[in-house]
Amino acid sequence: MSADVSLGPDKDNGGFNLTGITLKVRGEVTGLDADGFAKAAEAAKAGCLVSKALTGVEITLDAALES
């Protein structure tokens, strides 16, 4: 798993803000097809405490099975 994080200027307070996060997940899972893997990854993202804490930041998910 990797995460690409985008930063932008914080116009109100100076410094920087998180403006976006892309989560890249790749896995090899016996007995799970690509659709099932994508659904499991989406459910994990939706239930993630960090994702919930960063509700003001766009978080995208790029999940795929590797063969």
What are the sequence ranges of the domains in the chain?
A: 1-32
Q: How far apart are CA 38 and CA 27, in angstroms?
A: 10
pLDDT of residue 1: 86
Judge whether residue 37 has pLDDT over 90.
yes
What are the pLDDT digits (tens) for 9-23?
999 999 999 999 999
Judge whether residue 51 has pLDDT over 90.
no
Judge whether residue 56 has pLDDT over 90.
no
State mean pLDDT over 22-31: 93
Judge whether residue 50 has pLDDT over 90.
no
pLDDT of residue 17: 92
User: Taking CA 46 as the corner, what is the angle to CA 64 and CA 5, rounded to the nearest 5 degrees?
Assistant: 70
Helix intervals (H) in 1-67: 34-47, 49-53
